[in-house]
Amino acid sequence: MAAVAVLPLLEQTPTLAPAPHRDLCTDCGVSRSSHAASCGKVCQFIHPKYDALERQVHGRTRARTGDEAFFGPFRAMHRARLQTPLAGAQWTGITTRIGERLLATGAVDAVLATASDPEDRWRPRPAILTRPEEMAQCRGMKMGYSPILALLDEATARGYRRLAVIGVACQVHALRALESTLGLERLYVIGTPCSDNTTTERFHEFLGLLTDTPARVTYLEFLADFRVELRFDDGRTQFIPFMQLPISQLPADFFPATCRACFDYTNSLSDLTVGYMAGEGEQWLLVRTARGEELCALLADELVLSAPGSAGDRSGAVRTFVRVLERSVGGLPVRRAPKWVRPLIGWAQRRFGPKGLEFARTRVEMKAAEGILSLRQQRPHRMRRMIPAFAWDLVARYGIVAQPGERLEAQP
Ligand SMILES: Cc1cc2nc3c(=O)[nH]c(=O)nc-3n(C[C@H](O)[C@H](O)[C@H](O)COP(=O)(O)OP(=O)(O)OC[C@H]3O[C@@H](n4cnc5c(N)ncnc54)[C@H](O)[C@@H]3O)c2cc1C
Ligand code: SF4
Ligand code: SF4
């Protein structure tokens, strides 16, 4: 495994307590912190509070119709890119640049984000960043859990009262539920969408199935045109259609039960969501709150914004996905397609498949269906508590409806 340089900022970041084992836990960091006793109240897997937290953050719950029904409350939505993309970023580096600007302008004392482990670029390592130039060390996606919320204790101990946190939805859910107890003067939450996360060890197995030189892979992304992009340290790139991914060779528990049953794909409790799904090759911003507007304003001169496009019809793709899930509840539709047909399907997906916002709606519906069906198979007793009303609404048109005892109408 190629080692990455030891970073000064990681030397400043305290060693974290070990994570106690819990069923359905993505190690967001709460259980390693002084807030450990709150897991039962703040965790999206134990006591999800989607409606209450949407009211807390946005002053209202999401609209039941239109794009909010898919993506959660927002004020504005953009296709976006940095005029000058940052080298080493996952996309153009909007997330990193926001962190840099927050620190450079003194809007926050510190940013909590995820760097790479010095020994393994793919292993997440939570970090406290206090200088703009340190943000570069957090560029790029790592696969695995990042216990960033464990750093809230250290941030408090250092007297930081104005914080920004960059995180995925399960982290943001717990953070928002804890927010009022943290004694913060100001909190900016920059969220990324997240799906199909797994442990770093499992991700290495996956890389080993994709290429003969897994140790040379520096970048991986599931593109919005139904292909995976790999980049290598010698400048090579490789594109693999989703249909040709070696999903059937992965063990049944490759995607953990947590990430399969995670319903807030687009990180709706953040101030600003920075993703790519509706970006058609660029990034995708969902500005959700007044703080989110401030974050965009920080980059005003550097961002190129346009209206997100939308094309195609998701219904067929989602319906097929649901049918296969109902049969297997263990993988993706590609499992059943004969090998010779897969390149053709891959071509058709790219040519005729949903694009832009319709692609994002497709993925959100697929994830909601996967969450419900996998819970029904693996943890039926959790369904009532874990599945939000908005997820049931999304999948009703595909014939997935709650059976007696599966649905909680109003969440506390
Ligand atoms: C596991 C995972 C799955 C994702 N799936 C999707 C998806 O399906 N659709 C989509 O639109 N976007 C997804 N994203 C987000 C996407 O990969 C980009 O991070 C995002 O679009 C921002 O790009 P950027 O160039 O602005 O990021 P950069 O400027 O490169 O910054 C990346 C940021 O991601 C954070 N980060 C990296 N790894 C982790 C991690 N393991 N846990 C928490 N935070 C991390 C870092 O703190 C850093 O600030 C996913 C991210 C992760 C971590
Ligand atoms: S709150 Fe975080 S640490 Fe606690 S159980 Fe949930 S995911 Fe795990
Ligand atoms: S898929 Fe969901 S549960 Fe898994 S790491 Fe991402 S946000 Fe957390």
Q: Judge if 71 and 158 occupy the same domain.
A: yes
* Contact call for residues 354 and 366 (beta carbons, < 8 A): no
Q: Judge if 109 and 33 occupy the same domain.
A: yes
Could you tell me if residue 269 is inside a domain? yes
Closest ligand 3 atom, CA of 256? 4
Q: Whose CA is nearest to atom 8 of ligand 2?
A: 25
* C-alpha dihedral, 66 to 70 to 74 to 79, nearest 10°: -100
Ligand 1 centroid, distance to 397 Cα (angstroms): 30
Q: Judge if 320 and 275 occupy the same domain.
A: no
Ligand 3 centroid, distance to 375 Cα (angstroms): 15
Nearest C-alpha neighbor of 68 from the set 401, 406, 400, 393: 393
* C-alpha dihedral, 179 to 180 to 185 to 186, nearest 10°: 40
Q: Judge if 139 and 37 occupy the same domain.
A: yes
What are the pocket residues of ligand 3 if the criterion is a CB atom closer than 6 Å to any ligand atom?
A: 26, 168-170, 194-195, 197, 258-259, 262
Q: Whose CA is nearest to atom 4 of ligand 2?
A: 39
Q: Whose CA is nearest to atom 50 of ligand 1?
A: 194
DSSP state letter for 302: T
Q: Judge if 67 and 170 occupy the same domain.
A: yes
| pLDDT (0 to 100) of residue 352 | 60
Q: Judge if 382 and 277 occupy the same domain.
A: no
- Grouping H, G, I as helix, E, B as strand and the rest as coil, residue 388 is coil
| pLDDT (0 to 100) of residue 20 | 80
Closest ligand 2 atom, CA of 45? 6
Q: Judge if 68 and 123 occupy the same domain.
A: yes
Could you tell me if residue 138 is inside a domain? yes
Give the Cα separation of 374 and 384 in Å (integer): 13
Could you tell me if residue 91 is inside a domain? yes
Provide the residue type at 408 as one letter. L
DSSP state letter for 163: E
- Beta-bridged to residue 189, according to DSSP, are 165
| pLDDT (0 to 100) of residue 353 | 79
Per-residue pLDDT of the chain (412 residues; tens, 9 = 90+): 333 333 455 556 777 877 888 889 999 999 999 999 999 999 999 999 999 999 999 999 999 999 999 999 999 999 999 999 999 999 999 999 999 999 999 999 999 999 999 999 999 999 999 999 999 999 999 999 999 999 999 999 999 999 999 999 999 999 999 999 999 999 999 999 999 899 999 999 999 999 999 999 999 999 888 889 999 999 999 999 887 888 778 887 888 999 999 999 999 999 999 999 999 999 999 999 999 999 999 998 999 999 999 999 999 989 988 888 887 744 444 445 555 555 655 665 665 679 999 999 999 999 999 999 999 999 999 999 999 999 999 999 999 999 999 998 654 4
Where do we find the tokens 């045109």? 225
Where do we find the tokens 């976006």? 80
Q: Whose CA is nearest to atom 37 of ligand 1?
A: 141
Q: Whose CA is nearest to atom 6 of ligand 2?
A: 43
- Grouping H, G, I as helix, E, B as strand and the rest as coil, residue 254 is coil
Ligand 2 centroid, distance to 37 Cα (angstroms): 10
Could you tell me if residue 194 is inside a domain? yes
Beta-carbon contacts of 15 under 8 Å, excluding residues fewer than 6 positions away, are none
138 lines ligand 1 (CB under 6 A): yes
Q: Judge if 284 and 151 occupy the same domain.
A: yes
Could you tell me if residue 240 is inside a domain? no
Q: Which of 308, 335, 366 is the last residue of a domain?
A: 308
Both structure tokens of 307: 């209206």
Q: Judge if 51 and 67 occupy the same domain.
A: yes
Give the Cα separation of 380 and 131 in Å (integer): 47
| pLDDT (0 to 100) of residue 335 | 46
| pLDDT (0 to 100) of residue 5 | 39
Please list, residue by residue across 258-294, b when 16 or more beta carbons sit within 10 angstroms of its beta carbon and e when fewer do. Answer: bbbbbbbbbbbbbbbbbbbbbbbebbbbbbbbebbee
Ligand 3 centroid, distance to 261 Cα (angstroms): 9
193 lines ligand 1 (CB under 6 A): yes
- Give one DSSP letter per residue of 113-145, joined into a string: EEEEETTEEEEEEEEEE-SGGGGGGG-S---S-
Q: Judge if 369 and 295 occupy the same domain.
A: no
What are the pocket residues of ligand 2 if the criterion is a CB atom closer than 6 Å to any ligand atom?
A: 22, 25-28, 30-31, 39, 42-43, 45, 170, 174
Q: Whose CA is nearest to atom 4 of ligand 1?
A: 194
The values of phi and psi at residue 103, to 5°, are -75, -40
* C-alpha dihedral, 188 to 193 to 199 to 204, nearest 10°: -120
Q: Judge if 194 and 51 occupy the same domain.
A: yes
Q: Let me know the angle formed at the C-alpha of 378 by 376 and 380, rounded to the nearest 5 degrees.
A: 45
Ligand 2 centroid, distance to 383 Cα (angstroms): 18
- Grouping H, G, I as helix, E, B as strand and the rest as coil, residue 324 is helix
Could you tell me if residue 396 is inside a domain? yes
Beta-carbon contacts of 31 under 8 Å, excluding residues fewer than 6 positions away, are 19, 20, 22, 25, 39
Closest ligand relative to 261 C-alpha: 3
Q: Which of 287, 308, 329 is the last residue of a domain?
A: 308
Nearest C-alpha neighbor of 102 from the set 284, 293, 294: 294
Nearest C-alpha neighbor of 360 from the set 292, 275, 247: 275
Closest ligand relative to 80 C-alpha: 1
Could you tell me if residue 205 is inside a domain? no
Closest ligand 3 atom, CA of 259? 4
Q: Judge if 45 and 193 occupy the same domain.
A: yes
Where do we find the tokens 């209202």? 60
| pLDDT (0 to 100) of residue 104 | 98
Q: Whose CA is nearest to atom 2 of ligand 2?
A: 28
Question: What total number of domains does the chain contain?
Answer: 2
- Neighbouring CB atoms inside 10 A of 361's CB total 21
Domain that holds residue 409: 309-412
Give the Cα separation of 163 and 223 in Å (integer): 31
Helix (H) or strand (E) holding 281: none
Ligand 2 centroid, distance to 132 Cα (angstroms): 29
Give the Cα separation of 145 and 152 in Å (integer): 16
| pLDDT (0 to 100) of residue 241 | 86
Both structure tokens of 393: 């609404």
Give the Cα separation of 202 and 205 in Å (integer): 5
Strands 303-306 and 310-311: unpaired
| pLDDT (0 to 100) of residue 4 | 35
Closest ligand 2 atom, CA of 26? 7
124 lines ligand 1 (CB under 6 A): yes
Could you tell me if residue 219 is inside a domain? no
Q: Which of 293, 308, 323 is the last residue of a domain?
A: 308
